[in-house]
Structure 1
Amino acid sequence: MHVKYLIIGAGPTGLGAGHRLRELGETSVLLLEKNAYTGGLAASFKDSAGFTWDLGGHVVFSHYAYFDRLIEDLLGDAYLEHQRIAMVRMLERWVPYPFQNNLRHLPREVQWEIVEAMLPGRRPEKQPANFREWMDVVFGAGIAKYFMVPYNFKVWATPAEMMAYHWIGERVSVVNLEMVLKNLILELDNKSWGPNNVFRFPLFGGTGEIFTRLGDRLGDMVRRNTEVVAVDAQAKVAETSQGERITYEYLLNTGPLDQFVLQSLNTPNGELREAAGRLAHNSVFVAGVGVDGMRDDPTCWMYFPEDNAPFYRVTNFHNYSPNNAAKPGASRALMCEISYSRHKKEDLSQLMESTVQGLVNTALMDEKDRDNILSRWSCELEYGYPVPTLERDPALRVLQPWLESRDIYSRGRFGGWQYEAANMDHSVMQGVEWAERMVLGNQETTYVVK
């Protein structure tokens, strides 16, 4: 079989590429998806108790008019819109997110410890060499101690000293000392920071409903249960797990870039293998706990920097849509995320029990709620987040030009390996922009190797 455009993976990036190619009149397109479903890391699953779970905390917000139109076309009016309410749990209290903008909710001695460390002359005045040094330079030792250091290790499962910081952009609300003092003295809250302060969510089916519909729309262009196991870059041939050989003119890989180079690509040279080996990622254990009964809690999601719970984030998934719960309006869906890696080992066999204990420790469940648990669902994601280490960009500068010189392109959360361009809208648009580059000669703007 021969196709002009072969796409590995039917997640947000692959589906975005396939959809845009078809819009542009291209018909020789094939998406090969190893799973029985489309959506990749944005898929959703219904458990045996009737709860719907995402693979982590996804919400629909956008930087792109094209993405907005696509979502509206796919969902119609079958979505809900929410004003973000996010909190940080620390020192046995809830602090509105972003934590650094709402210090007034902390004990007074902690407030002063944090503010004192932010005063002129107290923060290091140097160019930081890594993410850990950046925390002290930008936030001061107090915020670093109480939130930035412990929380980021819980998320990334990687020492901050090994990470770069130029990826941050709109991902982290940086400190404004004047605003911090004003909010403290006038007892004001500042909760609206960030691009996702208003977001949408499908009424039924979780985030995965978006990509189920998009995959169905592409029809026979998508072939499920078909894994690419080998790619001959010179001959432009891909081999599937069923033994089929497919020739192509252009190849888009949306799976993990390191696996593609080290496991699928035929005879990559030593420099290429070394670069692929420098790409780092964490893994994520997603634990869904369905609880009978409701609480008066409008919070969307919560962050947990302390060690009294294994998770770094919990989503009140029933607040995104009541249909995510087995008993809409009468049961809660608590979706918890725990990272692990060689730097942060976890006993996966015990994580569900420690998650439930953490929910009790952090006041999201009462002891009596243990008897009201309707569902314990979990999923282990070997690839959770691509970690922006100090070695990432030098590795990408080796990998991507070599691949593109052979008409192979790698995009998406793990295909491109850029966390800062890995939101849902970014991922779809990486595929869309790649398609426009191929057909129209347009320049890509979302994914750029620096």
Structure 2
Amino acid sequence: MRVKYLIIGAGPTGLGAAWQLHQSGENDFLVLERHPYVGGLSASFTDNAGFTWDVGGHVVFSHYPAFDTLLEDLLGDDVLKHQRESWIRVAGTFVPYPFQNNIRRLPPELAWECVEGLLAAGRAAAADTYKTPPAHFREWIDRVFGPGIARLFMVPYNFKVWAHPGELMSHRWIGERVSVVDADRVIKNIILGQDDVAWGPNNTFSFPLHGGTGEIYRRLAARFSDRVRCGDGAARLDAAAKTLRTASGDTVVYDHLLSTMALDRLVVDVLEGATPAMIAAAGRLKHSGSAIHGLGFNGAPPDPRCWMYFPESDCPFYRVTNFHNYSYNNTPDPDGPRPRKRAIMTETSYSEHKPENLDDLTGRTVDGLAATTLIAPDDRDRLVSTWEMRVDYAYPIPCLERDAALAVIQPELEARGVFSRGRFGGWKYEVGNMDHSFMQGAQWADRMLTGAPETVYTL
């Protein structure tokens, strides 16, 4: 088989590339997807009890008009709009997100610990105490937030979500991902007794009325379904000959190639003739895994919260999503905006630095929901559905070695006509949102078609 454009992976990046080709009138392309479904980490599934689950707590927001326009075209009126309501569980209470702007909700002695640290951090910055940039993410946290916020939230939460110590991570990915604190603003909120919850690009978000986040990509792939092959991934790539052998044994000859598979796997397991330097660099890339649990309960007491963060050790998960609040159709037998059942989705990270016993994680997750007051003791008897998905590649870690590793791998690949993009294909978490990932694929396609430069993913 021969195609002009070959795309590995039918997640947001791969389908974004296919969409841009399709929109430009170029239909000589093939998308290979190793799973039997499209969407990648943005896929959704319906369990045997009728609950719909995402692969983690996705929300749809965008930095790009092109992505917004496509969503409107794909979903039409089948979309719900939400105002974010997110919280952090600390010291036996819930604090509005972002934590650092709302420490007034803490017990007074803990609020003062945070303020005292903030003031000390501010004095150090004003005195130009630090003559060199932070050596790592942990040092950045200490410098910016002070010891109180670091101890109570930033250090334990970031370890729970990344499953890597902050000392092994760079701080250069931060951007809009972390609300950098303003001591004056914090003190004003404490004195006036006001919450400060509007920060961040996902303060408002959209969600499909039916089918979870994956509905976006099912509808998109349906527009060129004859050129999407599921259940057949990449097995061996000969970039010199521009041929790829699929897992089923087919050989595809191509002119242009986009890979969205995990970059380390591409280099080590798939690419023929990878140099020792490339293989060594791939070994320096770090990632975490995630175990996602969907727990369906009879009864849905009012709870307007969208999602919650959990830095403490009384539960295994780092985030919980009230998935029934995203769409009532995520539950079976919905009764309009007030569902009869609750859909609670949890995420627990794991890595070599944070091992988890996955065999007993479901029970520990339910225990954690009770310990953090998300369910009442008798709610255990109302549990009617348990769904679990383990994702070994969940977060590409912005580790200290990442940029140097990418500087070795990506130019070598592009010299061979291989372009690696996407959340794990590009391995840059700071441009790893759904909209970023989609636009990486779309911009690659535009570059191949017109020579236009890529601006979302840059080397």
TM-score of the superposed pair, with normalisation by structure 2:
0.97
Q: Which amino acid aligns with 2:268?
A: L
For residue 110 of structure 2, what is the aligned residue in structure 1?
110
Q: Secondary structure at the match of 1:339?
A: strand
| Contact kept? 2:321, 2:344, Cα under 8 Å | yes
> Which secondary structure does the structure 2 equivalent of 1:119 belong to?
helix
Give 1:332's match in structure 2, choosing from 337, 342, 352.
342
Give the distance between the partners of 1:367 and 1:240, measured in 2 at CA.
50
Deviation by residue 1:334-363 (Cα, 9 ceiling, x = unmatched): 000000000000000011000000000000
Question: What residue number does 1:367 align with?
Answer: 377
What's the counterpart of residue 274 of structure 1?
Answer: 280
Quote the residue 1:312 is aligned against: 318
CA distance in 2, matches of 1:229, 1:108: 58
Of 187, 195, 205, 2:201 maps to 195
Does the Cα contact within 8 Å between 1:117 and 1:123 map onto a contact in 2?
no
Tell me by how many angstroms 1:123 deviates.
5.0
Paired amino acid for 1:233:
A
**How far 1:120 sits from its partner (Å)?**
4.2
Report the equivalent of 2:74: 74
Paired AA for residue 348 in structure 2 = I
Q: Which residue of 2 aligns with 1:170?
A: 176
Task: Give the C-alpha shift of residue 325 in structure 1.
Answer: 1.2
- Between 1:387-396 and 1:120-129, the stretch displaced more is 120-129
Asked if the contact 2:163–2:351 (Cα under 8 Å) also holds between the matched residues in 1, the reply is yes
Find the counterpart in structure 1 of residue 450 from structure 2: 440
Q: Which runs of 5+ in 1 are unaligned?
A: none
Q: Distance in 2 between matches of 1:356 and 1:390?
A: 35
Partner of 1:204: 210
CA contact (8 A) 1:233 1:266 kept: yes
Q: Distance in 1 between matches of 2:332 and 2:296?
A: 8
Residue 131 of structure 1 deviates from its aligned partner by: 0.1
SS of residue matched to 1:383: strand
Contact 1:34 1:225 in 2 (8 A): yes
- Do structure 1's residue 150 and structure 2's residue 156 form an aligned pair? yes
**Separation of aligned partners in 2, 1:147 and 1:350:** 26
**What amino acid is aligned across from residue 35 of structure 1 in structure 2?**
H
Counterpart in 1 of 2:45?
Answer: 45
Question: Contact 1:54–1:207 at 8 Å: present in 2 too?
Answer: yes
Gaps of 5+ in 2: none
Moved more, 112-121 or 50-59: 112-121
Percent sequence identity over matched residues?
56
2:309 counterpart of 1:303: yes
Q: Which residue identity lines up with residue 361 of structure 1 in the other structure?
A: A
Query: d(CA) in 2 for partners of 1:205 and 1:219?
Result: 18
Q: How many angstroms apart in 2 are the aligned matches of 1:123 and 1:340? A: 35
- Give the counterpart letter for 2:430 in structure 1: E
Aligned-residue offset at 1:327: 3.7
TM-score, normalised via structure 1 length: 0.99
Equivalents in 2 of 1:261, 1:327: separation in Å?
47
> What are the equivalent positions in structure 2 for 1:346-425 lying under 5 Å apart?
346-425=356-435
Tell me if structure 1 keeps the 8 A contact 2:12–2:42: yes
The CA deviation at 1:315 is 0.3
Q: What SS does structure 2 have at the residue aligned with 1:384?
A: strand
Cα deviation 1:204-254 (Å, max 9, x = unaligned): 000000001111111211111111100001111100112111111111000
Instruction: Measure, in 1, the Cα distance between the counterparts of 2:332 and 2:445.
Output: 40
Alignment partner of 1:292 out of 286, 295, 298: 298
- 1:91 is matched with which residue? 91
Cα deviations by residue, 1:258-304 (Å, 9 ceiling, x for unpaired):
00110000121100100111110000000111111011110000000
Q: In the alignment, which residue of structure 2 is the partner of 1:132?
A: 138
The answer to whether the 8 Å contact 2:120/2:146 transfers is: no
Alignment correspondent of 2:234: 228
Task: Select between 176-185 and 123-132 the one with higher mean Cα deviation.
Answer: 123-132
| Paired residues for 1:20-59 under 5 Å | 20-59=20-59
Q: Secondary structure at the match of 1:152?
A: helix
Matched residue pairs, number?
449
Corresponding letter in the other structure for 2:358: L
Q: 1:435, 1:262 → 2: CA distance?
A: 25
Q: Helix, strand or coil for the counterpart of 1:73?
A: helix
Q: Does 1:251 align with 2:257?
A: yes
**Alpha-carbon spacing, 1:123–1:157, altered in 2? closer, same or farther (3 Å):** farther
Which whole-Å deviations, capped at 9, do the CAs of 1:46-91 have from their partners, x for residues lacking one?
A: 0011100000011110000000000000001101000000000111
**Quick one: distance in 2 between partners of 1:41 and 1:110?**
38
Aligned partner of 2:177: which letter?
Answer: R
